Each structure stands twice: as structure tokens, then as C-alpha cells.
A and B are shown apart, each in its own frame.
Chain A
Amino acid sequence: MDSRVVTILIESFPKILIPGLVRTIPLTAISFSLAMVIAVAVALIQFAGIRGLRQLCRLYIWVIRGTPLLVQLFVVFFGLPHVGVVIDPFPAAVAVFSVNEGAYAAEIIRAALESVPAGQMEAGYCVGMSYLQIIRRVVLPQAMRTAFPSLANSLIAMVKDTSLASVVTVAEMMMATKQLNALYYEPLALYLETAFIYLMFCTVLTRLQSWGEKKLSAYERKGAV
């Protein structure tokens, strides 16, 4: 590697990392948090079998899972302004990513809720708890423990999916890299550098996942406390 490329890489590093810290990470964090709220609500509605709302949830999941994320981004960012709804790039991306991830995560959480033994519910009833009390204090905590690895997986996937937001002009890492490449024309070096930064972010999340799993599995561990 000649020294010019090395200089470009060193100079570019903060220019890619900073959009990562101020765009990619907030975009992921906000979208994923909202997605969790949507997912828990949608999963619980289905688990409880609330008529009407349940069908609405199935429709939501069907549409979102059946259409590409990129198309959803285009519909919201380029399509909606056409009918007078103009949303800034960042909030538009947050909306699409959270609604998209919400559908997938809802299915993960629904499956986890269904995996909690029926006896847990019955035991709750028999000590006089109401349905909602049992869900909140017994069933949901166990389901979230079961869902945790899959949800961590989705979070890691989302970090990388946010690179799509560059096509709707969110100035995140991918956008920054494209601009740097237009300046220096070093596509291999620059895109590898970006890949490396994504890898660092995801490494941190992977570590957090193992830590979280250990923390959450306290009640599954055998032997002395």
C-alpha cells in the first residue's frame, strides 16, 4: 500500500467514524427502541387474541415482511412528498426502520411468549393474579429472556441495514464514505475501512449480547447462587 492511500485512510477515519457516532448509532438506537415497543405490543395483542386488533397486526406483519426495506424507504422519503407529506431524512429513516424491525421482532416475541409453559399462567391465576399481572410479571419476562439472543441478532443486523439510509440522504457512514470516495477515488481502501468500523460496532454489540445473556440467565443456572 503506498503512502498516499495510508494518508487518505488516516484522514478519512474520523470523517467516517463521526457520522457513525452521530448518525448510524442514534438511528439504530432510536429505531430499535421504537421497534421493541411496537413488537411487544403487536406480540401481546396476538398472544391475547384480541379480536379485530389481531387481524390488524397480521396485516401489518404481512405487508412489512413482504416488501423490501429499500422500497419502504423510497415510499416514505420519495413517495410521500408527492402527496404533500414531507418528512426530514432522519425522522423518515427512523420511522421506516422502526416499523420494519417491529414486524420481525413481533414474530420473535410472539413465538417466545408461546414457548412459556401454560402452567406459569395457571399458577399465576391460582395465587389470585389477574391476566395482565401474570403477563407483566411472569410471562413477558420469561419470553424476553427466550427472545433475547434473536433480538440481539436483529439489532446487529439493523446496525448494518442503516447503511441503506444513505440513499435517502441521511448523512451516515455509508454516505460519508461515498463522498470521500468521490474526492479521492480509493473505493477498495475506503469501503474496507467503513466495513471495519461497522465490524467494530458489531463487535461491541456481540460482547454486550453475551454479557446480557449471562445476566438474564441467572434463573436458568444450575448449582448454588
Chain B
Amino acid sequence: MTLEVKAVTKRFGTLEVLKGIDLTVEQGDVVAILGPSGSGKTTLLRCVNFLERADAGTLTFDGEDFDLAHIGKKDILRLRKKTAFVFQNYNLFLNKTALENVTEGLVTARRMPKEEAVAKAERALDRVGMLDRKNHYPSQLSGGQQQRVAIARALATDPEIIYFDEPTSALDPELIGEVLSVMRALAEEGMTMLVVTHEMNFARNVSTKVIFMEDGVVLESGPAREFFEAPREERVKAFLRNIERKEEK
């Protein structure tokens, strides 16, 4: 699988949030999108999965080209079945148990027989260590547990890529670890991931590529090791220094 996004622009009213973003994700990549708040990271991710309609830009998925501004409902539905999305606020279906949250997309959207879907969902819940809570409703789970169920929901659909939108930003510091370790395990198993995050350790140790965004443009992008050890842009150097200082405190 290859995902290629070119020249994405998006404005909300007079505010230009994305000013022409290019991005490539290859099979097995874990791409971390970094940058200060308001830089457009989340909007970019939402445009790539059509939760926001971009004003312009193209998307190439598995060699197929799409016009982000004019893509039709059918293509959107088809592409979404090949991808999965993990939200900052988990967004588990509140009226469904952990298990039902995972089977829903299989049974309803993919017409999988119930027993097969349950077996698959249980395997996914087991992978994120949530099998023992499969009959709990989201309101009965901690934030970290909810996010792990959300990851299981994403995994169960066998996506070619998973998009993560700040998956740990809404969590208590204590609960961040359990979610990150699940994500790290996925990365090690070769899952292709595009991750908007503020977790520098994750970006440094797990991701293969880093994209640094500010004010709607990509300031720097490259292999993770290069990005952290030898950043080219002054702004990126300053950003990394600030974060190091914060981590030392």
C-alpha cells in the first residue's frame, strides 16, 4: 500500500489552515506528524480521511488517483473500508459494548457473518489487552481502556493504514503508557500508521519518518533519526530544544 497526498489546501472562512501539503506514506511506515497547536496537523489527517473536505489536492491510494475536493460518496466509502481512524476522544459508540464496538464495522459495513465477526473482534481485543472487558460499555472503562478498544476497532477491519489523531492527548499521564505500548507493538508488527502526536518519545523511538508542520506548511520532513539528530530548519531546532527543556523539568 502507498498513500500519497499532494498540494492539499483547506481554509475555514478566511483562515488558511493548510497551504499546500505533500505527504507520502509507504507500506510499513510509521509517520509522525509533529508541530505546535494550530499548525493544521489534525485538519490534514481529517482531510485525508474525508472528515473535512479539502479545497484542493490529490490523493493517491494504491495507485488510484482521487481529487480531494471533488471525490464522490462511493469512492469515500470504498477508501474508508481500507483505512481506520483513531480519535483523540476515542469516539466509541456509547450505546455498544467494547465487543459490539469492534464487530459493528465488520457486521454492518462489511456484511461479515456474526460469529466470524465476534471471533475476529475478540482476537483484536486480545491484542490490545481488553478481552476481559469485552462486555463493558465505554462509560465503564477508563480513557486508556477506551482508546485501546478504539484501536482494536481499527485493527479488526484489517486496514491498510491506521490514522491516529493525537491518540494520547486526552489521557491522564498515567494512562498514556498503555496506549503507546499498544501502538509500539503494532508498529513492530509492520502496521502502516500515520500519527499526529505530541509524544516526542514515540516519534523518536517508534516512528520511521517525521513531518514537522507549522502554519499550514511542512517545514521539515525526513527519516526520524535524521530529524531528531540533525534537524535542518532553525524553527525545528528551537522546537526540539523547547521540548527537551520541558522533559528535563
Contact = CB atoms under 8 A, between A and B. Distances in A.
Interface string B33-61: 00000000000000001110000000000
B91 A122 contact: yes
29 contacts: A119-B87, A120-B91, A122-B51, A122-B85, A122-B87, A122-B91, A123-B92, A125-B51, A126-B49, A126-B51, A126-B83, A126-B84, A126-B85, A127-B80, A127-B104, A127-B105, A128-B77, A128-B110, A128-B157, A129-B105, A129-B108, A138-B93, A138-B96, A138-B104, A221-B139, A222-B139, A223-B140, A225-B136, A225-B140
Interface residues of B, number: 31
Interface of B: 49-51, 77, 80-81, 83-85, 87, 89, 91-97, 104-105, 108-110, 135-140, 153, 157
Nearest to B89: A119
Given A126-B51, A218-B137, A225-B140, 14 more contacts: A119-B87, A123-B87, A126-B80, A127-B80, A128-B110, A129-B105, A129-B108, A130-B109, A142-B94, A219-B137, A220-B139, A221-B137, A222-B140, A225-B135
Interface of A: 117, 119-120, 122-130, 133, 137-138, 141-142, 145, 218-225
A120 B138 CA distance: 12
A222 B139 CA distance: 6
A223 to B, nearest CB: 7
Contact of B109 (A133, A142, A225): A133
B54 to A, nearest CB: 16
A48 to B, nearest CB: 14
Given A123-B92, A142-B94, A219-B94, A129 B104 contact: yes
Contacts of A119: 87, 89, 91
Nearest to B50: A125
